[in-house]
Amino acid sequence: MLLGYGPMDNTHREFVEIVAAMLAASDGDFAKHLDAFLAHAESHFGQERDWMAATNFPAMDCHVDEHNEVLKSVREVQAHLAAGGAVEAGRRLAQELVRWFPGHADYMDASLAQWMVKQRLGGTPVVLRRGVASNT
């Protein structure tokens, strides 16, 4: 999920690591990992919101809306767990994050990364990927 903008790439690595930790957590530790994910997501999404605002990113509203929906879901699962609900709801959320994130990164975050690099350097980032087959 490298996009060619270092700060974003680093944050994305953290996102993947934290979701993986949620998936591997025991039932007793799951809520702690969900809390860590929420703290990461609030910071991660806030940083992207700040970048969008600072660069007048055209698709800011749509991007922020998607982030807000993720945060809403995380908070709902936190409340469910706090009320004694089954950890399975949290595991389903973590699985959904695994499904959602690659598409979000490939489309919304890639557009933001390209926009910011173009604003700053006048061109778009080039990302080299190993093991990707070419159609040529």
Please check the confidence at residue 32 and state whether its pLDDT lies above 70: yes
What is the mean predicted confidence (pLDDT) over 33-43?
98
For 13, list phi and psi in degrees, rounded to 5: -60, -45
What is the mean predicted confidence (pLDDT) over 100-108?
94
pLDDT band at 136 (very low <50, low <70, confident <90, very high): very low
132 against 87, higher pLDDT: 87
The percent of the chain in helix, strand and coil, each rounded to the nearest 5, is 75, 0, 25
**Considering the entire predicted model, what is its pTM?**
0.86
According to CATH, the topology of domain 6-121 is: Four Helix Bundle (Hemerythrin (Met), subunit A) (1.20.120)
